[in-house]
Chain A
C-alpha cells in the first residue's frame, strides 16, 4: 500500500487532524477519488491547489502519474515562481 501524506492544513480541515494514510491507488487521479470518498470535499481542494511528490519527484500537474504499491506520495502546495 502506498504511503500518502497530506499537508497539516488539509488534514485538519478534512481528516480530523490525521495526515498520514495507507491507500492503494494506481495513479493520482484514483488516489484523489479514494480520498474524496473518505473525506468529502477534499477532492476539489487537492485538484486545485496541490502538486504531488511521488517518491521525491514533484509533479505540478499529477493527474495521470502512476503510483506504485510502495510509493511515498506527498501532497504539496503548487509552486510557481517569479
Chain B
C-alpha cells in the first residue's frame, strides 16, 4: 500500500465534526447524563486508611435504611484466580482487578473501595454509607517508591516474590518484577567515552486529569442479560472485564460507550462499572454510579511516580557511545506499572550501540496505576533528554545538533532491539532547527530548552460497517469511542476513498452488540487501525456500487469505473450511459441484489512509530520560583494528518499535560498516607492563564503501511515537555532541576541553595 498520489480532497482538511452540534449545545450525553426510569443512585464507601486489614464489615444498618435497595461488598464477587491478561498498556490480573474494585481482606490505599450501596436518592445513599461499620486494623504503610524497596518496608502482598530475578527470592517484597533491556556492551562503550554524565531524577505520580469523573449506568434483567452505559475508552474491554467479574456470558452484556469527557488512558480499566452492575443485579433496578472528583483522585489510576538514574557516555564530537539507566516505577497498590515500555523507550530515539536499562515494578500504598498517554515513556525519556542537554552544554554543541548526530533513522537498530522502518525523527529535528522560535531572542531570566520523544503506536483489532442509505448517503459505524474527534477523521477517510462529500457520511460509535470486537481507543491507534477498516469497507462498497451499476446497465462489471463518486462506463465501447450517482444506485439496491453494505473486521499491524521535538522558552521569577512558559513549539511526525485541526489539537493537549507534569502536578500524601490534595484546587493542572499559544508543526513522513500514510499522533506529544521545560529552566538560571514537579517552592529552594 502506498500513499495516494492524486490530489486529496478531504484528507488534511478540517471539516466540522459530526457530533459538534451536540457538543456545543450540551445535548451530547456523557457518562453521568443518562437517566433510566426507576434508576437508583449508587455510591461507594472508601477506606480512610493507606494500609489496613479488614477485620469485619457490618452492613446491616445500611441495608435496613428505608430507600436502600442493595448493598454490596467483595463478598458479592466470585473470587478470581491470578490470571494475567493484556489491558491498555499494562498487563492485568483479574484477582488484583477484583480486589481493586472492592477490597477483599485488606485495604491498600486511602480511597480503596470497601462497600457500595444503591438507594433511591443521593442523600439516602450517603446516609447509608455512614451506617456501614468497617473494623480496620491499621498497618504501617509506604508511599515512596524507593522506601517501598527497602528491606524493612511494610509489605503489601504476602505472595509477591520478585519475578525476573534468578533464583526467585523466598521472601516477599514490594518489587513485583525486574526488567532488563540490553544491546551491545555498555562497559566497553563507556570505556570509549570522552565525557560521561550520570544523574538521578525523581518524578511524582500524576493523574490523567480528565474533567469527567467515572460514571456508569447499569441495568440488569431477570434473565441475566444486562445493559451498561459508561464513559470508557474501550467498551469491549469493559464488557470483557465485567462479564468475567460477574460470571456472565460476554454476549449477555451489552455495553454502550457514552460520549467521554477525557480518558488519556485512565479510562481503559473498570472501577464503578462492575459495582453498578452488581448493585443493579441485587436490587432489580437500574443503578447509576458516579465518582466524585475526590474519589477520582483518591481511587483512580494515576501514572507512576519514579526514581530514575541515567548515565550517558559520548565522544567529544557528541556521538553517544553508551547509555545506561535504572528505572524504579511505582505501580500503586497492585502490580503493573508501565516499566517495560519505560525501559524500551528511554534511549529509543537514538542510534546507540550499547544500551543497558534495568527496571523495577514496585507496589506502594497508593491507588493502582493506570495507563496515561505513552505509558512509562515520559518518565524515562525525561531523564535521558535532560542528561543529553547537560552533555550538549558541556561539549558546547547545539542540543538539536547533538540529537541530529545520534538520531535513529530507517535501518537503525532501535535501543530495544529491532530495526526501524521509515521514520521521521530527523525531519522533526530539522524542522525545529529551522523554526523562527529557535532563533528568537531571549531576555533576562529567560531560557530555552529542547527535548525529543518517541512512542511505538499500535494497531489492533478494529471493525467498521459502512451502510449505504436508500438516498445514497452513508452511515459509518465503528467500535472506537471518540475521545478527540475521530468520528470526523473516519468520515474523511470514507469520503476520500469513495469520492463523496464528507458531509454525506455520518459516523457513529456502535455498541458492543452492534459491531465486531474493537480494541480500545488508545495507543494512538484509531486513525491508523480503525481507519484501515473504514478504508477497506469503503473500497468494498465502491466495488459493490460498480457491480450494481453494471447490473443496471446490463454490461460487464469490467466495463464500469468509479470516479468522483459516480459509476461511469469505462470507455466508448461500454455504451452510452449517464454517470450514476450513489443515490441513483442505492435507490435500486433492492432489485439489484439487496442492501449495499460492507463489514470489515481486521487486526491492523504495521503501526508507524512517532517522534516529536519540542522547543520551550521559560522565564523564572527569582523571587517566587515561579516558572512561566513564554513560548512553546511542538514539532511532530504525524505520517499524514487526516483532520489537520484535530491533529494539532492532540499535539497541543499532550504538550499541555506534559507542562503540567513538569511544573505543578503531584500527589501530596500526609504522614498517615492520606491524600491531602484530592481536588483541582490543589492538584494544579495548567489553566488558560498558565500557557501561551502552543505552536504546532506537522511533519509528514508517510507510514508505508497505511493507505494514507497515517501514524498515530496522540501520545508522542506528552513525552518531550518535561525535559524541554527542565532544560529551559537550566538555560535560564543555570540550575539543573532533577525533581518533578519543578514547582515554585522547589525552584526557590534551588535558587536559595545556589545549587
Residues of A within 8 A of B (CB): 5, 7-9, 12-13, 48-49, 53, 55-61, 65, 72, 74, 76-82
Contact = CB atoms under 8 A, between A and B. Distances in A.
By secondary structure, the B interface counts as: loop
B523 interface: yes
A64 B356 CA distance: 31
B417 A76 contact: yes
Contacts, number: 102
Interface string B333-349: 00000001100100000
B166 A79 contact: no
Contact of A79 (B182, B458, B605, B705): B458
B89 A82 contact: yes
A80 B344 contact: no
Contact of A82 (B86, B268, B418): B268
Interface in B663-696: none
A58 B606 CA distance: 7
B523 A58 contact: no
B91 interface: yes
B418 A72 contact: yes
B190 interface: no
Contacts of A58: 418, 456, 605, 607
A80 B89 contact: yes
Nearest to B263: A82
B371 interface: yes
A10 to B, nearest CB: 10
A8 B166 CA distance: 12
Interface in B79-96: 84, 86-91
Contact of B419 (A7, A9, A56, A77): A56
A12 B606 CA distance: 30
A79 B460 contact: no
A77 B418 CA distance: 12
B221 to A, nearest CB: 33
Contact of B421 (A57, A60, A61, A79): A57
B164 interface: yes
A25 to B, nearest CB: 17
Given A55-B419, A80-B87, 14 more contacts: A56-B418, A56-B421, A57-B421, A57-B605, A57-B705, A58-B456, A58-B605, A60-B605, A76-B344, A79-B89, A80-B86, A81-B265, A81-B525, A82-B371
B633 interface: no
Contacts of B166: 12-13
B522 interface: yes
Contacts of B180: 7-9, 12
Interface of B: 84, 86-91, 164, 166, 178-182, 208, 264-266, 268, 303, 340-341, 344, 371-375, 416-421, 455-461, 522-525, 603, 605-607, 705, 712, 715
A9 B179 contact: yes
Contacts of A53: 417-418
Contact of B603 (A48, A61, A78): A61
B164 A9 contact: yes
A60 to B, nearest CB: 6
Given A8-B181, A9-B179, A60-B459, A78 B86 contact: yes
A9 B340 CA distance: 11
Contacts of B421: 56-57
A80 B166 CA distance: 27
Given A8-B182, A60-B458, A72-B419, A81 B89 contact: yes
B373 A82 contact: yes
A14 to B, nearest CB: 10
Contact of B264 (A9, A12, A55, A82): A82
A54 to B, nearest CB: 8
A82 B164 contact: no
A55 to B, nearest CB: 7
B88 A81 contact: yes
Contacts of A76: 344, 416-418
B91 A81 contact: no
Nearest to A81: B523
B418 A74 contact: yes
B92 to A, nearest CB: 10
Given A5-B417, A58-B418, A77 B265 contact: no
A49 B89 CA distance: 12
B265 A7 contact: no
Nearest to B417: A74
Nearest to B345: A79
B418 A79 contact: no
Nearest to A48: B84
A82 B84 contact: no
Contacts of B460: 60
B184 to A, nearest CB: 12
A82 B265 contact: yes
Given A55-B419, A56-B419, A79 B84 contact: no
Contact of A80 (B178, B375, B606): B375
B417 to A, nearest CB: 4
26 contacts: A7-B180, A8-B180, A8-B181, A8-B182, A9-B179, A12-B166, A56-B420, A56-B421, A57-B606, A58-B456, A58-B605, A60-B459, A60-B460, A61-B605, A65-B605, A74-B418, A80-B87, A80-B89, A81-B88, A81-B371, A81-B457, A81-B523, A82-B372, A82-B375, A82-B522, A82-B715
A19 to B, nearest CB: 8
